[in-house]
Amino acid sequence: MNVAVIGMGYVGATMSVALGLHGHQVLGIDVDKEKIASFNKGIIPIYEIGMEENLLSLMEAKQITFSEDLSDIDTCQVVMIAVGTPASADGRADLSYIEEVAKQLGKVMNRKKIIVIKSTVPVGTCDVVSHIIQDEQKRRGVSIPFEIVSNPEFLREGRALQDALYPERIVIGCSSSQAKKVMNELYHKVADKILFTSVRNSEMIKYASNAFLATKISFVNELARLTERVGADITEVARGMGMDSRIGEKFLHAGIGYGGSCFPKDTEALLAIGKDAEVELSLLQAVKKVNISQIKWFCQKMKTCMGHLQNKKIAVLGLTFKPNTDDIREAPALRILDFLMENGAAVSAFDPKGMKATSSLYPEVNYCATPLQAIRNTEAIILATEWPEIVKLDWKTAAKIVAKPILFDGRNALNPVEMENWGYHYTGVGVFTS
Q: Is 317 found in the same domain as 249?
A: yes
How buried is residue 47: exposed, middle or buried, by Cβ count under 10 Å (0-12/13-18/19+)? Answer: middle
Q: Is 244 found in the same domain as 126?
A: no
Q: Is 218 found in the same domain as 172?
A: no
What per-residue confidence (pLDDT) applies to 409? Answer: 97
Q: Is 257 annotated as a binding residue?
A: no
Q: Is 157 annotated as a binding residue?
A: yes
Find the mean pLDDT for residues 230-258.
Answer: 96
Q: Provide the pLDDT confidence category of residue 392 given band limits of 50, 70 and 90.
A: very high
Pick the last residue of a domain from 165, 197, 229. 197
What per-residue confidence (pLDDT) applies to 208? Answer: 96
Instruction: State the average pLDDT for the chain.
Output: 95
Q: Is 232 found in the same domain as 171?
A: no
Q: Is 331 annotated as a binding residue?
A: no
Q: Is 218 found in the same domain as 189?
A: no
pLDDT at 321 over 90: yes
pLDDT tens-digit readout, 25-76? 999 999 999 999 999 999 988 888 899 999 999 999 999 999 999 999 999 9
Task: Give me the number of domains the chain comprises.
Answer: 2
Pick the last residue of a domain from 197, 230, 251. 197
Q: Is 7 annotated as a binding residue?
A: no
Q: Provide the pLDDT confidence category of residue 158 given band limits of 50, 70 and 90.
A: confident
Find the mean pLDDT for residues 268-296.
Answer: 96
Q: Is 186 found in the same domain as 247?
A: no
What per-residue confidence (pLDDT) applies to 190? Answer: 94
Any domain includes 433:
no
Q: Is 335 annotated as a binding residue?
A: no
* Residue 278: CATH number of its domain: 3.40.50.720
Q: Is 253 found in the same domain as 139?
A: no
Find the mean pLDDT for residues 137-158.
Answer: 95
Q: Is 225 found in the same domain as 161?
A: no
Q: Is 325 annotated as a binding residue?
A: no
CA angle, 382 as apex, 298 and 401 as ends, to 5°? 150
Q: Is 340 found in the same domain as 262?
A: yes
Catalytic residues: 262
pLDDT at 385 over 70: yes
CA angle, 11 as apex, 349 and 78 as ends, to 5°? 170
Q: Provide the pLDDT confidence category of residue 433 given band limits of 50, 70 and 90.
A: low
What per-residue confidence (pLDDT) applies to 404? Answer: 96
What per-residue confidence (pLDDT) applies to 237? Answer: 97
What per-residue confidence (pLDDT) applies to 184? Answer: 97
Q: Is 196 annotated as a binding residue?
A: no
Domain hosting 409: range is 213-427
Q: Is 191 found in the same domain as 247?
A: no
pLDDT at 432 over 80: no
pLDDT tens-digit readout, 173-183? 999 999 999 99
Q: Whole-prediction pTM value?
A: 0.92
Any domain includes 50:
yes
Q: Is 187 found in the same domain as 237?
A: no
Neighbouring CB atoms inside 10 A of 145's CB total 9
